[in-house]
Amino acid sequence: MPFISQDKRLNPDEKVAGDRCFIQYRAMMNTWRENPRWSTVDTIASWIWPNDKHRAQILAFLVFFAMVVLDYERLQKEKNGDI
């Protein structure tokens, strides 16, 4: 989890899953803050998915999921109730 305690942020333990996530999240946020653009998202994603076409497909899916699917799910929850 990126949101670890302040004292852990100064000395994260790479053996702890949440600390490892924080280290990666911090690197991503630093990169984003330097240049907040779609090309920066592509750069960050290239750390995980080096294949250009696959990365574009994954990023397109994430945008589709966030902008279309989640709205649909919210409507379904309102219509049918919570779990």
Q: How far apart are CA 11 and CA 24, in angstroms?
A: 14
**3-class secondary structure for 55-82?**
HHHHHHHHHHHHHHHHHHHHHHHHHHCC
* Shared-domain flag, residues 27 and 53: no
**Residue 25 covered by a domain:** yes
Token pair listed for 22: 């924080």
Measured distance CA(78)–CA(74) in Å, rounded:
6
**Kind and range of the H or E run holding 23:** helix 17-34
* pLDDT at residue number 3: 81
> Can you give the residue range of the structural domain that contains 54?
49-83
- Domain count across the chain: 2
State residue 1's pLDDT score: 56
Region for 37 from its dihedrals, namely left if φ exceeds 0, alpha if ψ lies in -120 to 50, beta otherwise? beta
* Predicted pLDDT of residue 83: 85
Please report whether residue 39 resides in a domain. no
56 plus 29 within the same structural domain: no
